[in-house]
Amino acid sequence: MSAILLEYCQRLQDMGWATALRESQLMFPIIEGLHLLGLAFIMGPVLMLDFRLAGIAWKDTPVSKIAKTFVPYSLGGATVMFVTGVLLFCSEAVRCYNSGWFRIKILLLLVAGANAMYFHFKTQSTGATWDLLPVPPPEARRAGILSILFWTGVIFAGRWTAYNL
């Protein structure tokens, strides 16, 4: 299975547009910069919500108001990050495949996404009972703290991927 994935990555990386992107002195840095900009647009709002859920900041603001105001920015940032991340991966697929840091980043992205989905569908559904509390219930605080940890890990693993390929 590993050899098949590596061969697929090699084929992906050898596609004309992926090679052109990797070798471009202009486009690769632009796409990488957009990837980081997407990160900023996802992380700012996510951290605001997570700090509120953890009971660290904005205790007098309802959780629902923070979520309604800022989550759309996160979705936009996630879209930019996904598109640019796919382009960056395709241009260096073999190097990413061989990078332990890249694998950690992808695992943490999946875990962070699962945490967000669990919070959204399970914990937030009871939000009407705790939305105005200065400190949300333990399950909501746990979701916020885990999100902070997972996303911090994604950022570090992503940076280590870029500099240790």
Report which residue type is found at 54.
Answer: A
Radius of gyration of the chain (CA): 18
Q: Which domain holds residue 61?
A: 2-163
Size of the chain, expressed as the number of residues it contains: 165
- Report the alpha-carbon angle 84-90-92, nearest 5: 105
DSSP codes of every residue in 84-120:
HHHHHHHHTHHHHHT-HHHHHHHHHHHHHHHHHHHII
pTM of the full structure? 0.88
Q: How far is 19 from 104, CA to CA, in rounded Å?
A: 25
Q: What is the mean pLDDT of residues 108-125?
A: 93
Measured CA to CA, the distance from residue 104 to residue 90 in angstroms comes to 18
Task: Summarize pLDDT for 35-87 with one digit per residue, the tens.
Answer: 999 999 999 999 999 999 999 999 999 999 999 998 889 999 999 999 999 99
In angstroms, the CA 50 to CA 123 distance is 13
Convert the pLDDT of each residue in 128-143 to its tens digit.
888 988 999 999 999 9
CB 6 within 8 A of CB 97: yes
DSSP type of residue 122: I
Cα–Cα dist 105/83, whole Å: 16
Helix (H, G, I), strand (E, B) or coil at 63: helix
| Number of domains comprising the chain | 1
pLDDT per position as a tens digit, 90-102: 999 999 999 999 9
Q: What is the pLDDT of residue 125?
A: 84
Name residues whose C-beta falls within 8 Å of residue 129's C-beta, 6 or more positions apart in sequence. none
